[in-house]
Amino acid sequence: AGVFQSREEDDRKVRRREKNRVAAQRSRKKQTQKADKLHEEYESLEQENTSLKREIGKLTDEMKHLSEVLKDHEKICPLLHCTMNFVTIPRPDALASCLPR
């Protein structure tokens, strides 16, 4: 009876080892997949960040240009030189000279 029991225990150990090996393999595969997913997300966010920085640069340049255009326009704008421009309605011809054609 002792020989039969030890063989049964050996079989149980082998099954338990195999089960543990499969579980460890599954766990490592899951960790690898998670790391791959995080890396892909990182790459995507880096690209988006680069794109947004480029857009900020373009918008900053556009803002500087428009500020210069506005500053130049303010020097010659009849609406800004009129002391009553906040009280009276500006003349259509004065307004027309300020608008782009």
**pLDDT tens digits, residue range 1-41?**
555 678 889 999 999 999 999 999 999 999 999 999 999 99
Range of the domain at 65: 1-81
Does residue 97 sit within a domain? no
CA-CA distances (angstroms) from residue 74 to 69, 77, 78, 84?
A: 9, 5, 8, 16
Does residue 93 sit within a domain? no
Per-residue model confidence (pLDDT) at position 49: 98
Q: Helix or strand or coil: residue 53?
A: helix
The structure's pTM equals 0.55
Q: How many domains does the chain have?
A: 1
Does residue 91 sit within a domain? no
Does residue 95 sit within a domain? no
Average pLDDT, the chain: 85
Average pLDDT over residues 88-101: 58
Per-residue model confidence (pLDDT) at position 32: 98
What's the CA gap between 92 and 45, in Å, rounded? Answer: 51
